Amino acid sequence: EPEVTQTPSHQVTQMGQEVILRCVPISNHLYFYWYRQILGQKVEFLVSFYNNEISEKSEIFDDQFSVERPDGSNFTLKIRSTKLEDSAMYFCASQRQGRGTGELFFGEGSRLTVL
C-alpha cells in the first residue's frame, strides 16, 4: 500500500539553527500539507501546497517557515531559525485531489526537539 514517508524521524537542534524536514508524498498525489502537533495538544494545520505554490497557510506559518517541492518527489518544510516553541511532531500529508472529498494520507511524523 502506498504511503507518505518522512525523514528524519527525530531531529534535535539548537535554538536559532535551520531545520529541514523532508517528506515523500504518494506519487500520484497533487495536494500536499504540513501539520504540527505540540506534545499533548491537538494537530494544527500549517500549510497546504498545490501546483508548486502555497494555496493556504495558517497564522503559525510565519516568515520563519517555508515549503518547497524541489524535484517533483520531495516536499520539504524549512524552519529558518528555530525557537524553543517549534518543538513538536511535524506531519506531512498528501491527497490525490483537493476539496472536501477524498482521503488525506499522513506520514508517521518527524519529531523536532529544539534545545
Partner 1 sequence: DAKTTQPNSMESNEEEPVHLPCNHSTISGTDYIHWYRQLPSQGPEYVIHGLTSNVNNRMASLAIAEDRKSSTLILHRATLRDAAVYYCILRDGGSGNTGKLIFGQGTTLQVKP
Question: What residues line the site for partner 1 (CB under 8 A)?
Answer: 4, 31, 33, 35, 42-45, 48, 50, 55-56, 91, 93, 95, 97-109
Backbone angles phi, psi at 45, to 5 degrees: -75, 135
Residue 4 C-beta: closest distance to partner 1, Å? 8
Nearer to partner 1, 15 or 38 (CB): 38
Calculate ∠ Cα 102-104-106, nearest 5°: 160
Nearer to partner 1, 86 or 109 (CB): 109
Nearer to partner 1, 15 or 30 (CB): 30
DSSP code string of 10-49 = EEEE-TT--EEEEEE--TT--EEEEEEE-TTS--EEEEEE
